Amino acid sequence: DKGNHRHFMEKEIHQQPEVISHTLANYLDFTTNRAKPLNLPFDFAKVDRLAIAACGTAFLAGSVGKYWFERIAKLPVDIDIASEFRYREMPLSMRSAALFVSQSGETADTLASLRYCRKAGLPIGAIVNVRESTIARESNVVLPTLAGPEIGVASTKAFTCQLSVLASLVVNAAKARGMVDDAGEEQLVRELAEAPRLASQVLKLAPQLEALGRELAHYKHVLYLGRDTSYPLAVEGALKLKEISYIHAEGYAAGELKHGPIALIDESMPVIVIAPHDRVFEKTVSNMQEVAARGGKIILITDKRGAEHATVETLQTIVLPDMPEIVAPIIYALPIQMLAYYTAVFMGTDVDQPRNLAKSVTVE
Ligand code: M6R
């Protein structure tokens, strides 16, 4: 049932404040502001690496997770696309743990990667949305996303719930590894608690994003740029757009611009820049200047501080509220989902069931 929404995707985008809140509350105790204890088959204090494998959007959630685990918990992460991981014969350290991320819990390559690690004797955790799935059954611990059924082929709420689980795990890992003290843990939990309210605020940007989607629909190519945790989000933005609008889109690390994609820049390829006012903001601004100098049209997704400090002319600036660094990837997912959605709706594509795609990819 779509309720009063035109598509499941729209409904699922709008459910995010609620499902993010449910998911976080499963892992974090908001009365004590502590991470709840987890019954893991390994000890975060004792592992020296985490191997994460997944496909598509779930891979991009894991990619954000890498930045968080390494920076906050000082735990090195190898993140792989499952179809590569399963064949690349990577030497696995016996002090590693493996984590698989999957909405459906049935993705063939992710499942094969899980079996590979199990055979090697690694402890296995699965972040899944479907509790009664093969990946859930075959892992040592299930870390559920409480997103509820996701019907739209383009993943939206499952992604932000995967990020919510990963962020919660990072708080646990940071604590176990002595990288945060009690006060640090409380602060991270309090910051994550703001995610549902921030997500609701961002949903109010729908009219602006709808108008922008109508404009975007006239282009054939779109480039997304971001640094740090906004880099996987840039790739996710491009994936969402191509998946449902069939517009060719690419997501790049902003610093890679000079290493190739800058050759493509002209007025016919808008550049969507995801740049909260964070530790790498100034670096991204210089990339935007390079784009502007070549006649590129910039759509900047930032916060109030970023909008004040971005010394570059943009076609449009989407201004999100200022927010703590750890919640930004969860919240910045929403405008890129909405932009892809409105573009596709305007173009009249089958948003919930895009051509050539299946909700769950159970064959290789
Ligand atoms: O069910 P899974 O999370 O394992 O699916 C992985 C990908 O197939 C999936 O995220 C796909 O990329 C989505 N259609 C993206 O919107």
- From residue 201, how far is each of 6, 145, 168, 303, 324 by CA, in Å? 21, 22, 22, 12, 15
Helices within the chain (DSSP H only) = 8-14, 16-27, 56-72, 82-85, 108-119, 134-137, 157-176, 182-192, 195-203, 206-216, 230-245, 281-293, 304-309, 328-347
Structural contact between residues 125 and 102, judged by C-beta atoms closer than 8 angstroms = no
Report how far ligand 1's centroid is from the alpha carbon of 150 (Å): 11
pLDDT tens, position by position, 227-273: 999 999 999 999 999 999 999 999 999 999 999 999 999 999 999 99
Cβ atoms < 10 Å from Cβ of 184: 14
pLDDT digits (tens, 9 = 90+) for 173-201: 999 999 999 999 999 999 999 999 999 99
Active site residue 204: no
Q: Are 270 and 223 in contact (CB under 8 A)?
A: yes
- At 109-153, the pLDDT tens digits run 999 999 999 999 999 999 999 999 999 999 999 999 999 999 999
Question: What six digits make up the tokens of 89?
Answer: 């014969």
pLDDT digits (tens, 9 = 90+) for 3-50: 999 999 999 999 999 999 999 999 999 999 999 999 999 999 999 999
HEC-encoded secondary structure of 16-76: HHHHHHHHHHHHEECCCCEECCCCCCCCCCCCCEEEEEECHHHHHHHHHHHHHHHHHCCCC
Is the CB–ligand 1 distance for residue 361 below 6 Å? yes
C-alpha 329 chain-centroid distance: 6
Q: Whose CA is nearest to atom 12 of ligand 1?
A: 56
**Does ipTM surpass 0.95 in this model?**
yes
Contact 27, 169 (CB under 8 A): yes
243 lines ligand 1 (CB under 6 A): yes
